[in-house]
Amino acid sequence: MEFICVTLMIIIGITDSTADQFAVVGPASPLLAVSGEDVILPCSLKPNISAVDMRVEWFRLDLKDSVVHLYEDHEDKNTNQLQSYRKRTEVFKDELQKGNTSLKLSRVQISDEGLYKCLIQSKTKYDDITVDLNVEAIGSHPLITVDGFDVSGGLHLQCESKGWNPEPELVWLDSEGVTLTSETTNTQKETDGFRVKHMITVYNRDSKYHCRVKLRHHMMETEIITSSKMFNSLRSSVIVISVGSVLSVIAVILIAVFIYRHRVKSLFRKYAVNVTLDPDSAHRHLIVSDDGKQMRYEEQSETVKDGDQKSNNKFEERYCVLGNEGFTSGCFYYEVEVKGLSVWAVGVARESVERKEWIYLNPERGYWMSGSRYGGYLASEGPSSVYLSLSVAPQRVGVFVDYKEGRVSFYDVESMCHIYSFTDQSFNEKLYPVFSLSYDFSKNSSKAPLIICDF
C-alpha cells in the first residue's frame, strides 16, 4: 500500500512538472500597423498548454508605469492601465485554453509605437517575449506657398506636409522630373507625426514645379506653375492694374459660382429622400435618437441575448448603423451634418454586408463610403484607400447615388464642391444608407452627434 502511494505521488509530481514546462513565443521581426486601424500583437505558449489559470501581463518597456493589459485570476484587471490604452485592449478569452495570449489593440495611434513585453506566469514558472510595434501614418497632402522674393529676383517656394510616421521623404522636382536641391529643410516630430518643410528658390518663369512626399508605397504630390505675373508683381513699373476691371472679373466669377451651386443643389434635392437610422443595426456604442435622425458615440456595454433576432442585424466590430430605407433603382440623395466630429464616414452599403467581423469599409466588401479619420479625409479603406486633400473641413456632406450608372458621389453642401466619386460600380442588390461614427481618444474630441438633415 505504501509503495502504491509513493508511486502515485511521483506520477502526480512528474505530471505537474511537465505541465509547467513552457516557453513564450512571438514574432521574430517588428510588426507594422496602420494608424487608425486594429492590430494583433502575437504571443503564445509552446507547447500549446492552457493559460487560463496563468497571469498574462502586457506592458511597455519604454514607458514608466507602463501596464497595457493585465489578465489574472480569470479576469481582466486594468485598474493601473495606461490611460491612453483604456477600452482599446483585449485578450482572446476563448483562445487562452489553447495557449494563445495575444493582445488585440484597437484604433492604433502613433503614440502606440514602441516595445511591448508579453509576460506569462504560472505558479512556479514565468517567461516572456518582446514585440516591436511600428506604426505607419499617412500625412496631409503637400501644401505649396509662395514665401516672397530675394534681391536677385528669385521666387521662394515652400512646401509643407504633416502627420506622417515614420519620417517621409520630401523632394522638389522641375517640369522635367529632375530633383532640385532644397535650400532650407525643417523636420519636426510632433505628437501626431512628422512635419516636414522644404524651401527652394526658382528663377524660371512660366514653368512647373512639383513637391512630392513619399513613404514606402505611399506618395502625394502637389504642383505649382510659376508665371511672369508672379515675378513682376514686385516691380512697381508693372503694377498698373485697373481696380474696376479686377472687381468686375471677381463679381462675374462670384455670380457664376453662385448660379452653379444653386443649380447643383436644386438638381440633387430633386432626388432627396427621407432617411432614418435603424437602431436594430447599430453597434452597441452607437446610440440612435427616438426619431431616428441622430446618433452619437458612447462608451457602454450591451449584453446580446441568445436567440434575439434583432441583435443578429447589429454591427459587432465596426461602429456602423444602416438606414431603414433601401433602394434598388433610380437616383437618391441625402445630407448629413458632421460638424464637430473627427472620426466619421457616410455612404451606402449592400444589404448583405458582413456585420459580425472586422473588415475594411470598401467597395470590395460592399461599402462605398467617405469620411474623416484622425485629421485626414479618405474614400474607402484598406489597400484601396484614396486620401483626399480638402482645403476646408466639410460641416454638411451630401451623398448622391445613381443606381443604374453605378455612381456614388460626395459633396460639401455649403460650397457644393465635389469631394469624391466612386464610378463604374456594379450594384446588384438593395443599397442602404450607412453611417460610421467613432471617437478620437488621443485628442479628447467632441462627442457631438451625427445628424441626418431634413430638407
DSSP 360-375: --SGGGTEEEEEEETT
CATH superfamily of 269-452: SPRY domain (2.60.120.920)
Residue 389's pLDDT band, with cuts at 50, 70 and 90, is: confident
Listed in order, the ranges of the chain carrying CATH 2.60.40.10 are 21-136, 143-234
- For 416-435, what is the mean pLDDT? 93
Q: Which of 19-33, 260-274, 277-291, 292-306 has the highest mean pLDDT?
A: 277-291
Contact 421, 400 (CB under 8 A): no
Instruction: Copy the grid coordinates of residue 419.
Output: 469631394
List, in sequence order, every residue forming a beta bridge with 173; answer none if it has no partner: 179, 210
**pTM for the whole structure:** 0.48
Query: Model confidence over 323-345: pLDDT tens digits?
Result: 999 999 999 999 999 998 989 99
Q: What is the CATH number of domain 143-234?
A: 2.60.40.10
Interatomic CA distance for residues 5 and 311, integer angstroms: 56
Cβ-contact 414, 296 below 8 angstroms: no
Give CATH 2.60.120.920 domain extents, the chain: 269-452
Q: Which residue has the higher pLDDT, 290 or 373?
A: 290
- Biggest CA–CA distance in the chain, Å, is 118
| CB-CB contact of 403 with 427 (8 Å) | yes
Phi and psi torsions of 107, nearest 5°: 50, 60
Measured from the Cβ of residue 117, the count of other Cβ atoms closer than 10 Å reads 18
- DSSP assigned state of 43: -
What is the average pLDDT value for the chain, to the nearest integer? 85
Domain 21-136 grouped into CATH 2.60.40.10: yes
Instruction: Find the mean pLDDT for residues 194-202.
Output: 94
pLDDT of residue 228 exceeding 60 = yes
Q: Per mean pLDDT, which range of 57-71, 197-211, 231-245, 408-422 is the poorest?
A: 231-245
What's the pLDDT at 283? 94
